[in-house]
């Protein structure tokens, strides 16, 4: 089976940096993805890591360590619009994508 763990909520002020950790257990691991979901909206893709290391996309970066079954999403220069839920998701070799329970990020002025 598959399981993912991430914190339920993180609060930070505008301009700060937030790191959301994700640990996973799965068979046939192929990659780790991150999605953002605003209240009432559909999830949208942020990043994908198949290899160890850091992927940077603007203010957001994602990291993966396959040996540690661990990854994180780094949000820099936080803005109010970044208030949302963030989900990590593991992809197995068959293509199935399993999501974590999500981390609610609250950005305060």
Partner 1 sequence: GAGVSQSPSNKVTEKGKDVELRCDPISGHTALYWYRQRLGQGLEFLIYFQGNSAPDKSGLPSDRFSAERTGESVSTLTIQRTQQEDSAVYLCASSLLGLAGTNTGELFFGEGSRLTVL
When binding is defined by CB under 8 A, the residue of 33, 75, 82, 105 that contacts partner 1 is: 33
How far is residue 41's CA from residue 31's CA, in Å, rounded to a whole number? 24
Collapsed DSSP state (helix, strand, coil) of residue 47 = strand
- The yes or no reply on residue 102 touching partner 1 (CB under 8 A) is yes
Which parts of 61-80 interact with partner 1 (CB under 8 A)?
none
Residue 101 phi, psi dihedral angles, 5° rounding:
-75, -15
- The yes or no reply on residue 23 touching partner 1 (CB under 8 A) is no
- Helix (H) or strand (E) holding 16, with range, is none
User: Where does this chain bind partner 1 (CB under 8 A)?
Assistant: 30-33, 35, 41-45, 48, 50, 87, 89, 91-102
């Amino acid at each position: 089976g598959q399981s993912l763990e991430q914190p339920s909520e993180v609060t930070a002020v505008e301009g700060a940096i937030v790191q959301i950790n994700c640990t996973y257990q799965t068979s046939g691991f192929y990659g780790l993805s991150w999605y953002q979901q605003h209240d009432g909206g559909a999830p949208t893709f942020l990043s994908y890591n198949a290899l160890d290391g850091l992927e940077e996309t603007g203010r957001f970066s994602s990291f993966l360590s396959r040996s540690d079954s661990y990854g994180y999403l780094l949000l820099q220069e936080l803005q109010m619009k970044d208030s949302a839920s963030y989900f990590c998701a593991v992809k197995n070799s068959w293509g199935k994508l399993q999501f974590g329970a999500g981390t609610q990020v609250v950005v305060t002025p």
